[in-house]
A = this chain, B = another copy of it.
Amino acid sequence: MKQATRTLLRQYNLRITQSRSLVLQAMLSTKTPLTHKEIHRKILKTDGSISLVTVYRILEAYENIGLVHRHLSTGSFILCSLQGEKGHHVMLSCQDCGTVAECIDKDFCKHEDRIAKSAGFSPKAHLSELIGICSSCS
Given A111-B108, A119-B103, A127:B128 Cβ within 8 A: yes
Q: How far is the CA of A127 from the CA of B128 in the complex (A)?
A: 5
Q: Are B119 and A123 in contact (CB under 8 A)?
A: no
| From B94, B115, B124, B127, contact of A127 by CB (8 A) | B127
Q: Are B121 and A130 in contact (CB under 8 A)?
A: yes
Q: Are B130 and A116 in contact (CB under 8 A)?
A: yes
Contact with B along A99-119 (1 / 0, CB 8 A): 001010101100110011011
Q: Which of A75, A112, A115 has the most CB of B within 10 A?
A: A115
A122, CB-defined interface residue at 8 Å: yes
What number of copies of this chain does the assembly contain?
Answer: 2
Q: Which of A72, A118, A122, A126 has the most CB of B within 10 A?
A: A122
Chain B residues with Cβ below 8 Å from A116 are 92, 130, 132
A133, CB-defined interface residue at 8 Å: yes
A120, CB-defined interface residue at 8 Å: yes
Given A72-B72, A111-B111, A124:B133 Cβ within 8 A: yes
